[in-house]
Amino acid sequence: MSQVVKISALLFSSALLMFAGGMHGLILPVRGEEEGFSLLALGLIGTGWSVGFIAGSIAVPKLVKAVGHIRAYAVMAAIASMTILFNLLVINDWAWIFLRVFSGFCFAGAAMVVESWLNEVSDNESRGTTFSIYVSVTLFASTAGQMAISVTGVAGYIPFVLAALAYTCAVLPTAVTRTPQPAPLQSATLDLRYLVRTSPIAVLAAFSVGMANGSFGTLAPVYGIERGFSTATVAYIMSLAIVAGALSQIPLGRISDRIDRRKVIMGTSLVGAAAGIAMILVNPGEDVMLYALFAAYGLAAYSIYGIAVAHANDFALDGDFSKVASGMLLILGAGSMVGPIASSIVMSFFGPVSLFVVGIAFHGGLAGAAYLRMQAREAAPADERAPYQVVPSEHIVTSETVALDPRSDPEDIVLPDDEDDVHDQEPQAQTG
């Protein structure tokens, strides 16, 4: 409890940010569909988010180094708030695609600042507890944001203004916190050759999850609206998929600590592919089957990435977890950029239920690749594996999330060359 009190302001700020992000992410595809946006435009809105998010993960550390954490966070939250208000004022598909890049950029930057603060106040003994609390807060808040849409709907101005208020209010706890200013943020880096050499299947899993889940997160709401489902139903099934995926991480992660993690990747991929096939064959209405299939899909699809990161870590050199996980993040982002576009094209030709074709293709391909890799290399011995760690939804994980992860060794995280100057000067310039 003392640790919770210590970081309560930061957790509250993060909860407001995730609540706004959950609302924002569901408003756009549902309202865009109702406004008659093309499927390609809706897919590009999802791609815009991923482009901005990855760009923010790379560029925001430089902004923080220049102006400090509090000012950078205020800028990110203010622009995110302005962006969703512009979404309300300018209802145009190309404008929304452009604006979504900014919202992804700002969301990544704001999340990184909060996570770096949390890492600063946590020592090696408490970092696991802090990380677990943070993951729980992000899950609850982002789900609450999506569920809020079931009450407000997407018509009119209320949902846009409510999300903008949450973005703005997220500034307040960090602006008055007395928590010491953290070290400079680390940027995400990609050494593809090293990652492939470490674990080819983990790299493929990150890209496949990005393709499948980027498509699902962006276009599943569109699928629901085109099928005639109510906005409340769309909010419920999307929230259910995310919660099912989050809750399944613990048992599946514990299983992967005991058996070859590639077997778990293969099994969950097959479940995801089977759920997608069932969605196409059954094409359920607003009934129990719809909820069951979305839960099954989320249970499988949203748990694969964390297991893939753990598998790559099993074969990484000592102290290389941050390097591996940071690179995996960029590969995941690349898949998330491409997936929504591919799915929107498929849906344009074959109808809304064909959304799941992309998920079937990549989950099925990943299951086959995992099987082939099991024939090519032995699993890491169970006593040499780092214990599995639950990770936030891959849609919101950043390079600072990697730094906060208990599997990271703070001494092995590479910061800018002049980190000492920044770290020494910043608290004086921004006293809480």
State pLDDT tens for residues 359-394: 999 999 999 999 999 988 887 777 777 778 887 777
Which amino acid, 287? Answer: D
CATH match of 1-188 with 1.20.1250.20? yes
Using the predicted structure, report yes or no on whether residue 105 has a pLDDT greater than 90: yes
pTM for the predicted model, two decimal places: 0.86
As given in the structure block, the two tokens for residue 427 are 């608290």
Q: Where are the alpha helices (DSSP H) in 153-260?
A: 158-169, 171-176, 192-198, 200-226, 231-258
Mean pLDDT of 290-301: 94
Residue 254 has pLDDT above 60, yes or no: yes
CATH of the domain spanning 189-397? 1.20.1250.20
pLDDT in tens, 120-176: 777 667 777 788 888 888 889 999 999 999 999 999 999 999 999 999 998 888 777
Q: Which of 234, 219, 245 is nearest to 286 (CA)?
A: 234
Alpha-carbon span 327 to 308, nearest angstrom: 12
pLDDT score for 147: 94
Tokens 């950043």 -> residue: 398
CA–CA gap between residue 85 and residue 315 (Å, rounded): 46
Pairwise CA distance, residues 261 & 113, whole Å: 32
Q: Do domains 1-188 and 189-397 have the same CATH topology?
A: yes
- Which pLDDT score, from 0 to 100, does residue 182 have? 67
Q: To the nearest whole number, what is the mean pLDDT of the chain? A: 85
421 pLDDT exceeds 50?
A: no
CA angle 355, 360, 362 (to 5 degrees): 105
Q: pLDDT tens, 301-352?
A: 999 998 998 888 888 776 677 788 888 888 999 999 999 999 999 999 998 9
Contact between 204 and 326 under an 8 Å Cβ cutoff? The reply is no
**pLDDT recorded at residue 177:** 67
In this structure, what token pair is assigned to residue 228? 């005639």
SS3 call for 405: coil
What is the pLDDT confidence band of residue 231, given thresholds at 50, 70 and 90? very high
115 contacts: CB under 8 Å, gap ≥ 6: 134, 398, 400, 401, 403, 404
Residue 221 has what pLDDT? 95
What Cα–Cα distance (Å) separates residue 335 from each residue in 72, 89, 206, 301, 345? 28, 31, 8, 14, 16
Q: Is the pLDDT of residue 249 over 70?
A: yes
Q: What is the mean pLDDT of residues 35-57?
A: 93
Segments making up each domain of the chain, as ranges: 1-188, 189-397
